[in-house]
Amino acid sequence: MTKKSLSHLQATIPGFERVVVGVKPDGVKRALVGEVLRRLEMLGLKMIAGKMLVPTIFQAKGNYPDITTSDGHEWMVNLGRKTLATYKETERDVVADHGTNNPEIIGRRVYDSLIEYLISGPMVIMVWEGHLAVSQARALAGATAPAGALPGTIRGDLSFDSQVLTSAQGRRSLRNVVHVSGAVDEALQEISLWFGTEAEFNDKYIRTDHAAMFGQI
């Protein structure tokens, strides 16, 4: 296990990145952990850390932008705007479901539901590494709302949830199976959040298909 020395991929592969992927409570309860791992491995990424836990409120909040900052507040309001846009597209009455059309109020409700969702049960949190790991894993996960995710993606194949359905069922959070870091810097922050600042990784092993994947044979 290593903390500071370079892994084999980090030392030899251009575009090396690490990404945090979490199987959310709905994915764990539906026994989809193995399927998510299978797809990430088929993609060519390498798992270097993983654990199961029930997130604390601190961890759940740390997984999203800090809404007490200006950037975090804007992110929260944008959650409300996205919800309003979905209602408009589907010609549903947002006021009937939410009692308001204020994006800040709706965004805060969405945020609260996200936190409640993450602490509702066990998650499997993993660190994966590889070439362009963040963008590759996000593409594999698919669109945030499963109803709009493409076939072949994790969310598109394994869920059908939407903002309209969540609002109609009591303003709950989307059941979208997985969480994936949004950017390389976010992945670094999430590694510290979930694994600690002195995280150790089993990153020295080499996949048996490494040479074929990276054009060395």
Q: In what helix (H) or strand (E) does residue 166 lie, and over which residues does it extend? A: helix 163-168
Residue 46 CA, distance from chain mean position? 17
Q: Taking Cα atoms as reference points, which of 18, 56, 35 lies closest to residue 178?
A: 35
Q: Which residue has the tokens 């059908």?
A: 160
From the list 173, 186, 21, the residue with the least C-alpha distance to 112 is 173
Known catalytic membership, residue 179: yes
Token representation of residue 161: 């949830």
CA 14 to the chain's CA centroid: 24
Q: Which of 207, 200, 206 is closest to 2 using CA atoms?
A: 200
Name the catalytic one among 8, 98, 179, 210: 179
Neighbours of 211 (CB within 10 A): 11
CB atoms inside a 10 Å sphere around CB 179: 20
Taking each helix axis as running N to C, give the angle between helix 133-141 and helix 184-195, from 0 to 180 degrees, rounded to the nearest 10: 80
Q: Which two structure tokens, joined as six digits, stand for 144? A: 């945030």
Residues 6+ away with beta carbon under 8 Å from 87? 93, 94, 97, 163, 164, 167
Which residues belong to the active site? 179
